Amino acid sequence: MAQWQALLKLDSALQNRVCQLYERRFPKEIRHYLSIWIENQDWDSAAVDEHRARTCFQALLVFLQEQWYRSVQENNILQGPDFSRMKDYLLEHFQGEPLKLALLLSECLKEEKQILASVSEPQSCNNPGMQQSWRELDDKINELKQQTLETKKEIKTLEGLNEKLDYILMAWQNKVEENTDLAQSQCIVDQECQKHADFITQRKEIVLHQLVNILKQTEKVMATLTDVELPEWKRRQQLACIGSQADTSLDHLDKWFSTVAEVLLGVCEQLKKLQDQNSKYSSTDPAFCLPTSIPEMEKFGRSLLIKLVTNALVVEKQPVMQKFPQRPLILKTGVQFSITVRFLANIPEFKCMLRVKPVFDKDVVEAKTVKGFRLFDFNRDDCKVLDEDTDGGLMAEFGHMSLKERKSRSKSSSANHLVVTEELHIIKFVTDFQYAGQTCNIEASSLPVVVISSTNQLPNAWASIMWWNMVSTSEPWDLSLFLNPPPLTWEQLSEVLSWQFLTVGKRGLDEMQLSMLRDKIMDDPDGMVFWSSFSKNENAWIWIDGILDLIKKHLVDLWHDGSIMGFVSRERTRLLLQEKQAGTFLIRFSESSRDGAVTFSWVDHSNGEPHVHAVQPYTKKELSVLPLPDIIYRYSLASQRSRNPLVYLYPDIPKDTAFGRYKSPETSEPSGDGYHRRIPSFISNDPTPPPSPPNETHMMEMDNEPETSFH
């Protein structure tokens, strides 16, 4: 199947991601109407080759012209796509920059593949049978719905049979009263009517058996929904909050919960009709019932419905501040955040029926038992009615929430005390559900959140969020976990660390990079990582977080396309470069900069021996002045001002191939004020081999790397 056609079959949430991919970058109409032609081109090669890019661009213009001629010949100019306007758009935006078009389409096609992969991969990673189990559950629920419709038809037929029999009995009685000679035939008529009544009773018994069977099957399906599928979705949402690519769509659960709710309401309705028939028609025995009476069946059906709706309220989008969308579950006092709740039993009977109220730290035991536990309130009361949104979901978005701290209990020096970034809180949503004279309380809880008072606390708070969500797998949530935090295995920690780079830079960590981090972080022979060694100041996480921020602000494209090796030790650098041709270089992260910095090492040869050199790390401040690709192009040695020692990106990629697309145009044209633009350069006086990585206890010591002068 063509890639674009596969995207068109995705749910609305994933299609929206595709729309965002092309927004303000490239018209979706061109991608749609030229989908097959676009997918048949080698845009990856064109993205790094000016000649190929121009060839593809010209071929695209020719193809559009052919499509336009065809529209004219078929007299389809008004109804069909506007190929002429598409051609004009391409000429206007890319005629002078075909390489830009090739790069854009190359990146978009890769992003599309990632979106498609996210549909199946997250489900099959840990459970290859997930899709099969979903299909089986779909079949069971659809069968329940079909059986309910069949019993509804059967009960309507019973209604007609009862009416007919009742009419016959009444009509015959009237005839007997009018003509006494017919009294001798009364016995025969009574026998025939009894046969009909017995037939109705038999069919009623069959229908009741069917309804009992539907309720029993529904009970089993509900156990799968509430005890398996819903917890698994909540776990996927947990991991997605900390960077996993798990699918958190609620489409399946919404469909299943809604259909089961329809089935249960339908069964209860049919049981009520059977009771009415028993009471109304004297031809059948009103006392007739199966071993399980109709009232008991009704009670059982209501109990199943109550259980279903009690589990149907979920937090679809966890609390997140708009300024930090990639780090949910961290809230700052006085700063606006949003959170969305959804009711999965989405049927017309429940629309606008539930009024939901958020409550902070409802029934939280830690508020009374943990010393110094801070107390918070919402800045305003905010209740909302669950109503359909544009996608048809029964939901409510709380988009303007914020917190204020109220006076906490007195702090103590007791060991039973949590620091701010280890203190966990929850937001609960409460509502009442009324049905058939019964009222039940429904609650849904957010994942635990950390409340900070300063953005400086954000990195440590995120460490807490990652740790907690990796070790906590099911409710009820332990909000005092950090009083005695369990360790993580390296496999757990390495996975969540890789997710952070995937989230920020669209590329996770490979085995070599993780190996280097493992050597830096781990000091336990059993392969465990302890919270105390990972989370505190001057630790591995603060260093890693600084690198993530560096990537996000300055190196996203280079990290995404694999140009940055990143995490590689001194010894590994030497081994990789010493066998390479002179001028081969690799880009790695500084091991000394707490705030995040990047450097490069290269090899040259003298007297038949390889020599590996490194340059002082470039900070965010320097990269904000000149991007790293331009630094690489303008780098030189003080002793050889005319020679750039950086020629091939490891392993053997020509510099222009790797970085040509990112290079800023060099021009000597005067700016608007009449002055020529100054071109900064980076010059090293005395490059030396890269230093040994510092050990864990001295991680923040400065690298002994040569100084680079910035001009």
Which tens digits make up the pLDDT trace of 521-545? Answer: 887 777 889 998 887 656 789 999 9
- In CATH terms, the fold of domain 3-126 is Transcription Factor, Stat-4 (1.10.532)
Averaged pLDDT for residues 53-70: 86
- The pLDDT tens digits of the residues spanning 498-513 come to 999 999 988 899 888 9
Q: What is the pLDDT of residues 435-483, one digit of tens each?
A: 777 788 999 999 999 999 999 999 999 999 999 999 998 888 889 899 8
Give the pLDDT confidence score for residue 123 in this predicted structure.
42
Tell me the three state secondary structure of residue 319.
strand
Tell me, yes or no, if the pTM score tops 0.75.
no
Q: Is 583 exposed, middle or buried (0-12, 13-18, 19+ CB in 10 A)?
A: middle
The full set of domain ranges for the chain reads 3-126, 134-310, 313-465, 545-710
- Chain mean pLDDT for the chain: 81
Share in percent of the chain as helix, strand, coil (round to 5)? 50, 15, 30
* Contact status, residue 453 vs residue 321, Cβ threshold 8 Å: no
Whose CA is closest to 598, among 650, 662, 553? 553
More confident residue, 156 or 55: 55
Rounded to whole angstroms, what are the CA distances from 240 to 80, 147, 396, 547?
41, 38, 21, 21
- Whether 522 and 539 have beta carbons less than 8 Å apart is answered as no
- Same fold for the domain at 313-465 and the one at 545-710? no
The CATH fold assigned to 134-310 is Glutathione S-transferase Yfyf (Class Pi); Chain A, domain 2 (1.20.1050)
d(CA 259, CA 265): 10
Paired strand residues for 618: 598
By the 10 Å C-beta count (0-12 exposed, 13-18 middle, 19+ buried), 39 is classed as middle
Q: Which two tokens stand for residue 94?
A: 């890319």
What are the tokens at 130?
């997930």
Residue 357: predicted pLDDT: 94
Task: Give per-residue pLDDT as tens, 409-420.
Answer: 555 444 557 889
Quick one: pLDDT at residue 188?
59
Query: Among residues of the chain, what percentage have pLDDT more than 90?
Result: 33
Backbone angles phi, psi at 73, to 5 degrees: -65, -35
Strands (E), 28-142: none
Cα-Cα end-to-end distance for the chain: 54
Q: Which helix (H) or strand (E) holds 12?
A: helix 12-22
pLDDT at 117 over 80: no
Domain at 545-710: CATH code: 3.30.505.10
For residue 387, report the phi and psi dihedrals to the nearest 5 degrees.
Answer: -140, 165
CATH of 313-465, one of 3.90.1150.10, 3.40.50.180, 3.40.50.460, 2.60.40.630: 2.60.40.630
Give strand pairing partners of 566.
588
Peptide bond into 487 cis (omega under 30): no
